[in-house]
Structure 1
Amino acid sequence: MSRSWSFRGQTEPVAALVAIVVMVLALGLYSGFLADVLRDRTDRSPEASAIDRIWADASHGGTFAAHRPTGLDDVEPDSLPQGRNVHVEVTAVTDDGDRAVVATEQFGADGTPVDDPEGPPADGSGIETGVAERPVPVEVAPGDVRGGTLRVEVWSP
């Protein structure tokens, strides 16, 4: 066999390494670009996203402890939709089967609690309010866990 047949189809090792590095960098830049472009694109409404984050902040051991004096004070401003007012209410079933509000808090558009809350806008006020509810366990006294509801209302100021 001639010497030319033995080298046919081979590539320099340095050129092959450079090609692999270029491909890895291009793939990394492309995936980083896609992650940046597609971030925060979701079909979830602000109230649906907020209710999950609020529950994560307010629950302790999977229940809401209504007998604790802090109540909803553990809700972090980062858990709330930016630039929107939020009203949070926790209700629990009473001994006679009715529902009673055990905790309520209103947060301003900056994420801080409102001192004199007016509550969410009334129906027909022209302000669109998003509402999300979910059933939650509420500990009304140590060892006394009852069914309850977490309700989150979100609106623009």
Structure 2
Amino acid sequence: MQWIEIEKGNCSDCYKCLRSCPSKAIKIIDGRAEVVKEMCIVCGHCQVVCPQHIIKVKSRLRNVQAAIDDDFQVIASIAPSFVGAFDMKYPGQFKTALKKLGFSDVSETGIGAEYVKQEYIDALKTQKYKNFVTSSCPSANYLIKNITLSV
């Protein structure tokens, strides 16, 4: 899936996106910026620096809303840092708000990390892989994957 899209037209040929991309995933074709999907780490730097605001990060919000509307059990997984991101007197307010939006439950991301950790332990025991590099940051994971594939 292509996570970063650049709208057609209105590109001012400033090359800010090209210069700011840490993984060199922007190329210019016919005077227009395009994303090289295989190299993109979805860090969003290009979106931040684009003066024309034509670079968009795709949202999966519609998929989440559709799952909630179809009565699937959808659990919001939130990082502990949410407390610093929202101005609220009681952190429980955030959980209440998410449940009012239709989430069946709200859980801290760290709980899922325990399951992931166990999967890594099990995989290491099989000795199927020599090395593991883990990160909860999708951009770091894409970067590692892209570097590994290019080496």
TM-score after normalising by structure 1: 0.21
Identify, as 1 or 2, the structure richer in helix: 2
Identify, as 1 or 2, the structure richer in strand: 1
Structure exhibiting the larger radius of gyration computed from Cα positions:
1
